[in-house]
A = this chain, B = another copy of it.
């Protein structure tokens, strides 16, 4: 008699450039993974065909039949109706009302669940990551934009209608910065890596004595989000000013979210979180002083994410497995 084989889960991270597909066990360990190009300009059916075929091949190549996989989860950019598994719209891949779950099912013959990628990543950090064991957590990803996910009572919080939980799109300043969403002064226009890089470029160009100029090799196009932190750490006044300003805006945004959700923990993901305590220490100090009820209420710690490059796969797999375990069918 052969030992019973543990069934697996597919976690799929749909990005603008590539589709990462992972084979995950029920402890959310990645057993194998692959990546296929998105080529986002194609018809969605072609993209999903590649996704489905690559996922099926990943299973087979690793010795699993389709019926040895419990379910598949996809984390998608943009606004998703998770109840129907539809991507309502995504600037990133230019999708509009794409029935992703339905279409992917044609290739995989197993339950397919879809949610926003940041929502998935939030759950991923709760099931296996920085917020493991927390019932309530906020996840903010500081990258091209500011994405966010909220877990309440162990579940992804999705708001009343699709288009909620857009944590990067709360007001954060009055400089009149135009956000990609059309509004002025969203948190994203101050706290994304893009915003920090843009300001660092401008500072480097306007002041060649600054360390910023030196660290980007005197080529502003080589600026990245790490350089201002390195410059600040080396006591460069321009770098210090940039980082101080960046952290103050981010701290204000996180304080807003804590006053609304009051989670156990705030988890930061995205490239900027590589700064670790250089980032979280001043944020935590600000929260202790500025959250509503400081001194009497519970104030969560801000920490950095742990799932790193696997966040998309683990997040999507965790969402799918939770939905599957609850018996939800798309």
> A: which residues have CB within 8 A of B?
79, 88-89, 135-136, 152, 159-167, 169-174, 181-183, 252-253, 255-256, 258-264, 289-294, 296-298, 300
Contacts and interface: CB of A to CB of B under 8 A. Distances in A.
Contacts of A167: 260
B297 A161 contact: yes
Given A170-B170, A171-B172, A174-B173, A163 B292 contact: yes
A89 B293 contact: yes
A70 B17 CA distance: 60
Contacts of A165: 260, 262
A253 B297 CA distance: 23
Given A171-B171, A174-B173, A152 B160 contact: yes
Given A161-B264, A170-B259, A181 B297 contact: no
Nearest to A293: B163
A159 B262 contact: yes
Summarize A's interface: helix, strand, loop or mixed.
loop
Contacts of A171: 171-172, 252-253, 255-256
A292 B262 contact: no
28 contacts: A79-B293, A79-B297, A89-B293, A136-B159, A136-B160, A159-B260, A159-B262, A159-B263, A160-B261, A160-B263, A160-B264, A161-B263, A161-B264, A162-B262, A163-B293, A163-B298, A164-B259, A166-B259, A167-B260, A169-B259, A170-B260, A171-B171, A171-B172, A182-B289, A182-B290, A183-B255, A183-B291, A183-B292
A135 B160 CA distance: 8
Given A79-B297, A89-B293, A163-B291, 17 more contacts: A159-B260, A161-B262, A161-B263, A162-B262, A162-B297, A163-B292, A165-B262, A166-B260, A166-B292, A169-B292, A170-B259, A174-B174, A182-B290, A183-B255, A183-B291, A256-B256, A260-B260
Nearest to A181: B292
A294 B252 CA distance: 25
Contacts of A162: 262, 297-298
A79 B299 CA distance: 14
B296 A88 contact: yes
A147 to B, nearest CB: 12
A323 to B, nearest CB: 17
Contacts of A252: 171
Nearest to A182: B294
Contacts of A174: 173-174
Contacts of A293: 79, 89, 163, 166, 181
